[in-house]
Structure 1
Amino acid sequence: MKVLLVEDDQALASALGDALRDAGLLVETTGSGTDADFLVRTERYDAAILDLGLPDGDGTRWLAQWRDDDIDLPVLVLTARERWSDKAAGFSAGADDYVTKPFETAEVLFRLRALVRRSHGHAHPVLSLGSLSFDTHAGSVTLAGRPITLTAQESRLLAYLMHAAPRIVSRIELSEHVYDRDHEPDSNVIDVQISRLRRKLGGTRIETLRGQGYRVVAVEGDA
């Protein structure tokens, strides 16, 4: 999951960004609405965390512009403003969820993951496809009830494919959502990691559709 964190308090942005990265998320940060506006229009993110008190304009103004331009990125507002009128303004501008400061990092993480799940049409925190299950809260994977050990990168790759299933995910989309844009994968990195996932999950569970991309499928005999 690739997240844009828009927060002008550098200490807070650094601490929250590090905590979300430790939880397996890819996080890019900016402290201004102008930069955030450029990024959401030129990069692809799974969600954004948006502070309202930005130095170059209220966050609701930027959010309202995104929604007016049909940018449907899930947005979690994170702010010190606690009045109901402020929350109403945030939701009216197009916010999907709202957390006030001070906050628990775990709550932000749970809410982010829920936003991303719902944006892909999943209500339950455990994504299941046949006997393969991915617990988005715990970040754990089981196959027919047996725990599967994945590396952090394998876990991010599988999570994105399972969120998207049964849709086909192109290599470009995987590169944009699973890998840091400052460390884009070499041409064969995705192939290597897909191959490793197949060894752990079964060779037919991840399909390659030539010229299109990859998708996760249930296999014959799955419960």
Structure 2
Amino acid sequence: MQPAKRQQQVRSIATRERLIQAALDEIFEVGYHAATTQEIAARAMVSRGALLHHFPARVDIVLAAMEELLEDGTRQIKAVADDVQAGLVSLEGFVEFLWQLFSGRFFYLSLEMITEARNDPALCERMIPVVKHFHQALDGIWIAFCDPAKRPPQQARIILNLTLCLVRGMGIQTVLRPEPGYYRELIEAWKALLPQIVDGPAGDIMFAVPSSPAVSGTARKRL
């Protein structure tokens, strides 16, 4: 490849990355609907024509931003999970990390775009594979997270996804209930419970519940 063409490709990649970061910054600062392509281009310090060259439609840059956001979140989660396995971070520290991740910029950006997808079928259809890839990557991390001699893969996924659901739900609550002490109590309680679920009898009790969704005949009569 000729040097001039290689430099052009490098500049093109750099411009695309700058636009994606500008989109994330703009959406986080002003919200999904107020984040116009004009403002994203201005923030990235490129022309609108350059933005349209890389992202012909607004949905294209939104999807690229979501993909970058989730890939970065996956990298962060895997790095801390690896540290837990190496004994450098405790389970309690892992819970604290997840709470910080899902009560800050990463979570609120993803929430902006997921909420929008709920009422935009075309955006939703294109976003589902991106989010599915994120969850598949997480499932791989969770399987490696627990000792297979103590917890089979299915149980590992359930335990860690329960943790994610907890911090996500709390993250949403922070919007209208800005009470740090309330969330701190819940996080500290889960820090105490999680090691027991992963390693101790509490986990055995938890998974003693039948996994089948079928309702017993007696229970059906009550219903």
Q: Same fold (TM over 0.5)?
A: no
User: Is the strand fraction higher in 1 or 2?
Assistant: 1
Bigger relative CO (Cα 8 Å, ≥ 6 apart): 2
TM-score range, shorter chain: under 0.3
